[in-house]
Chains A and B, each alone.
Chain A
């Protein structure tokens, strides 16, 4: 492989700077990663909820369409 000085300098600079500023960057990266996880979890939860809502809707519709007897209307909280 041909030695390319600019690429070498860029790579070396990137490595050296990541070592030098890594200590200061870690908390920021941690926060960014936490925010990313939170976003991911919230997205997964939202998708799961929508899926469940759809299941509930279809189940209720099916029950009504097939004439399942109605339960007593909700009156009080248990």
Chain B
């Protein structure tokens, strides 16, 4: 190998060819490409080598010729190097590699330190730099973006576009340049529309793929340093404290009341205690108390932890890989439109072959046969369909946006309408992921918390005040007041207690001032309560206990009304069980005066203050949304990483009934035969203590059984299931970045009823699309039938390609758009969803399409017979515009309902106006090949507009129809009607 040094930087050169006899070396220097100045420099440099006769560096090829003399043995010994494999993309050079692997949570601290060759005081800077080179930066790889060109290409490489481009080519061959240009303009219009929508979605995606450049506190060379989170390496010792977002996976070395909020990763609503003690190897992720995971938040306390995994090696990256590995399923709309497009293409090709054969049989010239084929291609394809479908979806997106729902994937707006199962995460989705004090029981029944007023001047005398003060003083939280706003940092349980105390009128700062803390005895192995001692305002010291009631109650000798005794304690323990059974997290509180200043904290003789029940409350409308879903024929399944009893309580609260499955019970279920699995999943209501993979597997299994699944979630652990579902809904503005990245719909608000409203919007889109499709296909069929029958009968072409484009693009598209923007039926959520496999045009509608298409073609033929091709065009156009009103929902009328939009009338009026312009405006008339306006033209227009309405039996003047009749008349949206 030859290495040049360019500005002190090595630039390796490959020997591409060595012509030994000619003594010529051809060197490839990658930096040389397109750089003339470097070429001259390299030539000068190479000429100084011993034995070199001539050099020539060529910037076009990036190669350099070196001719050497006989006396240059060093150059003569260079050998050719084979072509290297293509270099990996530049981005992958910085791909972080996973560090050493081991069950870190199950290893003792000393062993972890030894395996990672680290020490309690951290790594040296040199070693950290070496490891950074070896393992790469602590960052997650970003998903590659499609280029603009690729997006545009995808719009063009579709069957209908191919047919249109083929038609344009055929037109150009036949010498019809204007037709060819018009068809190409249609191709451009449709491709531009698709490109615009895709590009906007991509931009949204990109805005969410931001890197968070956080900082971390680490020990390097035994000194505390702040380093960018991206520079962390396995073996670094991190210092963590409340409020920190973990930058990497780390093994706890030392902890002081350390808890981490892992809800986003595991779904666990309670902050988890973190301790250096190892746990069993097979412990579930949510219960690994010795590990801190990247992306989780330190809720309280502080500690030291050893980084064991960075970048791609973290649990967060594993979940992300799961997300990336699963491709989002094609939406039912895309699937059905694809199916429809294929059928139309086959029909169109068949018709073209038939018409071509007939044309040749009649002895027509090839150019004319070619023109007929183009006309057929144009007639068969619903060119306005992308515009109509987009209009329906965008209208729905706008209406959802007004409710605070952002639709990322446009077709999801329609998919929502077909949803049959909603899988809802619990923490943060059905519940707020924010603990709240729900019950305060001082031994005489629960107190009314809403009206509770504390008495700060009688803290030790007034039981409710004492309970709240004890909880506040015993808690380890930081409280900051910023004007009226109170910021509390600490574990969610303690935050809830402090908030409740403040809400009742206690001032935390004043109370801490009156009761300065002297000692604090924390939870430890087997001791599930915290004891704190304080100086009391009137002199002396007091101790407060807060913790697990089953441990606190046995320490109490008295209640607030007198001695407790064994029966009294039993009664309190029973009450504790009652509250726990309601899904509450229960804490017991007790206090006592201390005998002497500075005395050790006694292990008994306390006075019981009360029981506090806390709960992560339901989000507004959570229970109602489950009820609404049920009445809309949609099943809800609660899927959570949280404990079974918590999940059960929440399911009960929202009114979910059915079977509950726990950790590890899903996998064996999924191996059951299809029918048994369907039966079991039909009964499933709650899936608790599950991993992100389990959530995704459940979604896959449901989809394989033919369900249309919506997944509602907010955490990192929901992301794989959000992507795997037909519609992923990220709930709440506080949902994790990853959840928002992969979701199809992002909810800014927290009211879950919005999901059901979105389903209603989706059903309106489905109804409107079916009506618009009925209209478009019937009108296209009429054109196709007219063109084919004329060709078979050897008559002149009734419609030119230009006229067909005019019909399909303008006079058909406007009514199509009008139909796609209809307001929808009010009872849209009172019916079950359409079966997932129902075609876009079910057989009854297909029969209507054929009947109506042939009728319209008959009218066109009548026009042709009476006034030739110009009248055929006029009559057919007017008939098609008039036909739009026959395709409307049964209850719709020409007159807008009170407060309704006159949009339909305006769009139909627009189409009529365009047709009038076509008949009267000379330049346009000449392009469309129409003669001057005559009585026949006006008569044809009027007849065409009125006739379909009369034939369809829906007179424009009947604008009030009873709702009962409506439902009976409605087009094929009931499953019984559309099922195959």
Contacts and interface: CB of A to CB of B under 8 A. Distances in A.
Interface stretch (B19-27, B621-629, B696-704): B19-27
A32 B195 CA distance: 14
Contacts of A60: 19-22, 24
Contacts of A53: 17
Contacts of B34: 41
A62 to B, nearest CB: 7
A15 interface: no
Interface stretch (B145-153, B482-490, B564-572, B840-848): B145-153
Nearest to B23: A71
Interface string A48-78: 1100110010011011100011111111111
A68 B149 contact: no
B61 A6 contact: no
A62 B915 CA distance: 78
B222 interface: no
Interface in A19-64: 24, 27-28, 31-32, 35, 41, 44-45, 47-49, 52-53, 56, 59-60, 62-64
A56 B26 contact: yes
Contact of A74 (B33, B61, B77, B152): B77
Contacts of A77: 1, 77-79, 81
A58 to B, nearest CB: 9
A1 to B, nearest CB: 17
A74 B76 contact: yes
B923 A52 contact: no
Contacts of B76: 71-72, 74
A64 B78 contact: no
Nearest to B62: A45
Interface in B622-661: none
B63 interface: yes
Contacts of A62: 22
Given A6-B923, A56-B26, A73 B20 contact: yes
Contacts of A64: 21
Contacts of B70: 69, 71
Given A56-B17, A74-B20, A32 B149 contact: yes
B19 A63 contact: yes
Nearest to B192: A21
Contact of A52 (B63, B147, B927): B63
A28 B17 contact: no
A31 B14 CA distance: 31
Interface in B21-47: 21-24, 26, 33-34
A28 B152 contact: yes
B17 A78 contact: no
Nearest to A74: B79
Given A69-B70, A74-B18, A48 B149 contact: no
- The residue in A27, A71, A73 that gathers the most chain B C-beta atoms within 10 A of its C-beta is A71
Contacts of B73: 72
A10 to B, nearest CB: 10
Contacts of A44: 60
A55 to B, nearest CB: 8
Contacts of A72: 73, 76-77
A74 B68 CA distance: 14
B178 to A, nearest CB: 10
Given A45-B61, A72-B73, A74-B77, A35 B21 contact: no
A78 B21 contact: no
Contacts of B22: 56, 59-60, 62-63, 68
Contacts of A24: 196
- The residue in B26, B74, B80 that gathers the most chain A C-beta atoms within 10 A of its C-beta is B26
Nearest to B927: A6
A59 B78 contact: no
Interface residues of A, number: 34
B116 interface: no
Nearest to B76: A71
A32 B153 CA distance: 11
Contacts of A31: 147-149
B58 A52 contact: yes
B23 A78 contact: no
Given A6-B927, A69-B70, A59 B58 contact: no
Interface string B41-61: 000000000000000001011
Contacts of B149: 28, 31-32, 35
B19 A52 contact: no
- The residue in B18, B34, B76 that gathers the most chain A C-beta atoms within 10 A of its C-beta is B76
- The residue in B21, B79, B148, B149 that gathers the most chain A C-beta atoms within 10 A of its C-beta is B21
A74 B24 contact: no
Nearest to A67: B21
B2 interface: yes
A62 B70 CA distance: 17
B21 A63 contact: yes
Contacts of B1: 77-78
Contacts of A45: 33, 60-62
A49 B70 CA distance: 26
A60 B22 CA distance: 5
B65 interface: yes
Contact of B77 (A6, A48, A68, A76): A76
- The residue in A45, A48, A52, A75 that gathers the most chain B C-beta atoms within 10 A of its C-beta is A52
A74 B78 contact: yes
B831 to A, nearest CB: 41
A28 to B, nearest CB: 5
Interface string B186-198: 0000000001100
A24 B65 CA distance: 46
Contacts of A75: 77, 79
Contact of B65 (A6, A32, A52): A52
Contacts of B63: 48-49, 52
Interface string A1-25: 0000110010000000000000010
Contact of B24 (A9, A27, A56, A76): A56
A28 B191 CA distance: 13
A64 to B, nearest CB: 5
B49 to A, nearest CB: 11
A78 B74 contact: yes
B2 A78 contact: yes
A76 B81 CA distance: 11
A70 B21 contact: yes
B21 A68 contact: yes
Contacts of A32: 149
A5 B65 contact: no
A71 B20 CA distance: 6
Interface of B: 1-2, 17-24, 26, 33-34, 58, 60-63, 65, 70, 73-81, 147-149, 152, 195-196, 923, 927
Interface of A: 5-6, 9, 24, 27-28, 31-32, 35, 41, 44-45, 47-49, 52-53, 56, 59-60, 62-64, 68-78
Among all A-B residue pairs, the 4 with the closest Cβ atoms? A74-B79, A48-B61, A63-B21, A63-B22
Given A49-B63, A77-B78, 4 more contacts: A28-B149, A45-B33, A56-B26, A60-B20
27 contacts: A6-B927, A28-B148, A28-B149, A31-B148, A31-B149, A32-B149, A41-B33, A48-B58, A48-B63, A49-B61, A52-B65, A56-B22, A59-B24, A60-B22, A63-B22, A63-B23, A68-B22, A70-B20, A72-B77, A74-B20, A74-B77, A74-B79, A74-B80, A77-B1, A77-B78, A78-B74, A78-B78
